Every structure is written in C-alpha cells, then in structure tokens.
Structure 1
Amino acid sequence: MNKINRVSVKHVNPNPLFTKWLTEWRDDALERRSKLYNTFNFALKNLSKFPLPLRSGKDCKIIKGFGKQLCEMLDKKLQESRSENVSRKSCKTNHEYIPAYRSGAYAILLTLYSKSLEANFQGYLTKPEIIELGQHFCDKSFSKPNPGTYNTCWSSMKILLSKNLAVKNGSPARYSLTEEGRNLGARLSASSNNGDHSNCLAEPYINRLRNSKNEVPIFQNNTEFKRPVTNENMKDYLETDMVSFTPKSFDVVLLVDCKETLGSLNVGNDPIINGLVAIGVNHEIRHLKVGDYTWICRERESKRELVLPYIVERKRLDDLGSSIKDGRFHEQKFRLRRCGLGNVIYLIESFGSTSHLGLPITSLYQAVANTLVQDEFSVKFTDGTSGSLQYLASMTKTLTKLFKDKTLMSRPKETVKELDINEDLIPLMWFQEFHKCSHKRQDRTVTEMFICQLLQVKGISLDKALSIVERYPTPKHLKNAYEKCSYGERLLSTMQYGKLKKNMGLALSRTVYLLYTNKFFH
C-alpha cells in the first residue's frame, strides 16, 4: 500500500492589509512618542503568529492584544480600502496622472522631453544634469527640502517611475522617458509654450481639490501618508511637526555646565567664563546632565534650540586619575556614548607635577589611548585653563562657520544619522530631548544595567561589556549559559571585542565566571 503523506498549507502572510495598517499606526505612534506604540506593537506581533486569514477587524478579537477599539479601527480602515478599490476601478479607464504646474514631476518631464528633441541627445540624463537643467522649470528646490519635510522636488522621480513615465538604468543611474512619458511631456511643453495652464491639464487637480478633505501630510521614513486633522490629534501634530532652520536664521551658542564654574556667587571670578566674555564668545551657563560643554543652534525669532552633535568632557589629569579609581570614568563614557551626540571630545588638562595624580602617568596615558582607539572619542591635550579656553573659543568659531549656511532640520534622537558636513540639510536633535535623555537616573533596561554592572569589574572596558551583552543580553542569559556548559571559566575567553577583534582572555573570563556563579557574591 502506498504511503499517503499529509500536505499542510501554510500562509506566509495571511493578513497583509491588517499587518500593513498596524505597522503604519505603530510607526506613527513611535514618531509621535505615543504610548499607543506598545499597543500596536503587541497586537502586530500576535497577528504575525496567527496562521489563518481574517475577514474583518471583528474577527481579530480572538487574538490576544486586540480590543474593541482596535478592531473597530481595522473595520473602518477595511471599509475605506474597499471603497477606494471600487472608486479606482470605476475611474481607471478615464483617469490620467497629470503633474501640477511647476512641480517636481513637471520639471523632470519637461527637462527630459526638451533634451530629447536635441540632435545630439545621448538618450538619457543623469540626476545632476536633470537637477541643473530642470530647476528653472520648478518653483521649489531640487536640493533643499520644503520646510517641515524631508522631500525635495527630486522625490517626484519615484512617482514618474511608478507611473511608467520614466525609466532608470545603469549605475550611476541614467534616466529617460517612456513612450507615455514623451507624449505627456509633449503636451506639457505645448501647454507651457501657449501660456495656458488652466486647460484640461489642470482639470484633474481641480476635481481633486473639490473632493479633498481636511488633511495634513505626515512624513515618516521618507514616505508620505495622510491622516485627518481633528481637535484631538492637532496637539500631537504640532508637537511632532518637523521644524527647519533656514541658513543664517540662527546663532551658535556654547553651553557651559554650571558645575564647571565656581558657582553662581563667584561666576564673575571664573577664569573660563571671564575669558569667554573677553574674547566675545556667545555662551550661556546651564545645567547639563552629561558632558561639560556643548553647542546649540538657537533660532533668532522663535528661540527654539537644536543641539549640535559635539560634546566636550573636560578633565584635569588629577581628576582623570580619581575618576578611573572610583569607576566614574567608564560610567561617564557609557553615558556620553548614549547621549545621542556623535562627536565626543575629551579635553585633558595638564595640572602641576605628575607625581601626585593618584595613578602613574603611564596608566593615565594608557586610559586616554584606550578612549581614543577603542571608544573612538576625540582627545585634546591642553596646557591648562588658558589652553582649554582657546580650544573652546576656536571650536565655537569653527562650528559657526561650518553651520551658518546650512539648513537645520529637527529629528528625534532615534532617527538622527551620522553627521555629513558636506550635505546642505543637517538633521539635529532638540536640546530638550537631549537634556531629557541624558538624565543620570532615568529608567534603564536590564541590558543597560548589566552593562553598568560589568563596567565595575576591573579589566572590563566598554567594548568588552558590549560584546558580552550582545551574546548574553541579561545576567540570566549568562548564568544559564554557565549552567549548560562544563567549561564555565573559559566560556568568555575566546569572545572577541572591539575593532581589532581581540579575545577576552582566560583571566577576565574566570573573573566574570566567579562573579556570577560564586555564592559568596549572591
């Protein structure tokens, strides 16, 4: 008898629409820093584990994390989607994409079409060529985004590619028009030459404006979608709206931590403050949660503040020795790395004789070298207070010169990328967010507390601690690993850390093993 095998059918993504909408709502909640993020994220995870298709939002009640309100939201979204599909099918035959007059798509189409009429046209244009030749066809910039967005006129190229009006080939990319694109470009060119922009080309937009609702564009991950503006969400929208500072509309201000002065009563006798005043450096004294100096860009009219990605930790050699002995040195470096500012500078001041520093001078130099190489922080040695003053003044002048002609854009800490000074658009974090995230006693995750705990062990640097928690995120994971293996003392000895991929070593592995397994420490 032939053996009959059971055939099981597994759906890869049985509910794609629900997954898509929950992902959008979750990302929107994250952008607005709403507590609904956890609700949507929990529901999304449970939905991904459900193996069967669901016909309505009401059916989702059988899944954990889906309450009555969330199911109603899905049903409403499903009804809107069905209505759109019916409307799209009914007008598909007579609807045609027409770019708005002097928009990005309009400029790209006219540029490619006009160049294709030339006898020596090579058949394509590159992105820089289209931007250079098409800017005069467009009212907005191809290189700088509109206020409140990350999209430039060049973003319209995605629309043309999706509408099959243009094609992209090769690397570097080469763009040309399809047959449909050339026909539309010819019509746009004829309309432009006649000076008539109220003809049938504009009619689809008139109808669209008549039928449109009160909607505000929300931008996330360079993708535009819309949500209705109501009295309930207007406050959230205003708080999360991205703000841009135009060039030369702001001042660069050096912030000095109040703990770096002689106190509020003797601030007039502080050599750093007196020196900054004498040189004419624009500065303010504030309480900084992390670091001793940083720089902000303050808009002149609104007084809003964005923080530049530079922060300075000032150390005298004797203070450096004390911080290494009591463990503050590693803890400070850990907080500086987490503060969200990408360029950390250690300003090391010489101080008197090197024989009373608490540690041998060679040990201090080794700690500084580790900070430079392993932590990838910048290090600057000065000959005392006067040298530090000159360095801060020079940095303020340099940063003012670098950023005064840039367009600054506010972004949350999680989405701020590494600084590229050659770009015209610079994403920066709000100073209030930097101040809040740098609080020393903020709630920490178990992994972060595990890192802090490991840093207290002699011989464990930040890179070593990060390598350990990458494989064992919590002490429980590490302890379980010790229980499962018979060579616990050697478990971490071959683990690699840092850029050079060095091994932890047997001695350090044994120390960590004893710490988490010896009953004396529990």
Structure 2
Amino acid sequence: MENQTRVRCPENEELASFMKNKWKEMASQPKGLSDNIEMALSKAHFNVCNSKNPIRTIKDFSTVKGVGKMMLKLMQGFFGTGSGGTEPDDLTKKGKKTKGTKRYVPQRNSVAYALLITLYRGTSNGNEFMRKQELIDAAEASGLSRAPIAPEKGKGKPGHFGSSPQDWYSGWSCMKILISKGLVVKSSCPAKYMLTQEGKEAACDCLKRSGMAESLDKSASVEIPIHMDKQNSLDMEVDARDLESEVTSPLNKQKKPLDVPLDSLERV
C-alpha cells in the first residue's frame, strides 16, 4: 500500500509513527490484518500526515477524517486513558492562539521525551552539549521511549506503508519539534545540541511528573561513599599489615634458640 506523503505538521510525526508501528504489530500477528482494518489504518494515517493542525489529544484525533470508534480504540495506547478529557475544551477551539501561551512538554515515553531528558542528564555533569550519535545512543539505552530512535538501515522501500518501521520516518525527526519549540538549540558542524533555559525547565517538569526528579542527585551522592569505601579498604589493608608485623615480630624473636653452654648445664 503506497504512501509517499510526509507529515506536514511536525507535532504529528510521533502519532504517524505510532500508527505505522501499530499496522506492523497487527500484521505480524497470526490472524494478520483484515482488508477493512488495513484500509481504515491506511486512510487515517494518510489524513494524519496531511493534517496542518497538531493532534494533541484523542479528541483532536477524533476530528480527523476516516477516524471512527475502532481507530480511536486502537490509538488509546498513544494518547493514554482519558487524555481527551484532561485538557480544557477551549484548547482545541483557540488553536494557534494558545500555542504560544503554554510551554510545550513532550508526552511521556515519546521520542521527544526521551531525547529531552537524555540531553538534560548528559549536560548536567558539566558538559555544555551532546552530539547526535552520542545523544541517540544514550536515549536508546535509557529506555524512556516506546518507539525506536535511530533509523534502521537497508530495510524496506521508501514510501511503502508498513514495509519498514523506518522507511521515511525515524524517531530522531522529533528533534525538529524540540528545536522548533525553543527547547533545544543546534549549532556548529558537526552539530552540537544544547538545552535552552526553557528546555531545562521542561526536562525538570518531565522528571517531576514521572517521579525521577531526584535520580540525578541520588546518582551523584552515591559516588562519595563508594570512594570512601575504597579508601577505607586500603586503610584496613595497611593496618592489617602493620598489625601482623607487630604480632609476628616478637614471636619470631622468641623462636630463636638460646645459646647455653653445656658446662653450665652440667654444673646445675
């Protein structure tokens, strides 16, 4: 099923990727995909790619052409349970008017979420920036994203829907969102990625919401006792050697035979 349409709105790239991975997941099951579901997924995916407006909630998603009850149920894993009722109704009505008044915070376990937190952690130890591959590797290893970040090489044909998880899209594309939202700055060649002040605040917000706010402090505090233990163990070894020398020295002196003349023994 051919689909060469790129995502027009950067904020919808994660949703488009999720739909595509859902297609692959269902197709790999023993029963496979029915023609009706395949057509519905393909149509909804096409319309999501063509949407000019960001699709932030399941309520927004329900307004996309070709999205029905079945599609809403399939996409609950992306938006989360009840996510459509957690935001005020006027958010979707105002559209672009509210875009600049509310700071963008990536959705939990999204690629943008993983990249933001990883960049925050990577630059919290004194480093001012991270490079692309370094950031991708660290974000992949963190397990914070439910979708792959690095593109897969040599798989599928570009533009073929469902042929490969990364034929025209890769999780790294979400970096464009972070840059466009003013959370990350890209500079130099080769590229260096740095967090803005707003990006640091957004990363802290993500960590607080997920309960990982103190992880950096804990990891930093653990290093001190480890070094202390190593030093203590060295001191103990030195003390043990000194003690051993003190104990064995008098014993060695006592073990030396006394040189007593035989004549003196006979006299006694």
Rg larger in structure: 2
Q: Counting helix residues as a fraction of each chain, which structure ranks higher?
A: 2
Structure with more contact order per residue of length (Cα contacts < 8 Å, sep ≥ 6): 2
Q: Counting strand residues as a fraction of each chain, which structure ranks higher?
A: 1
TM-score interval (norm. to shorter) = 0.3 to 0.5
TM-score by length of 2: 0.38
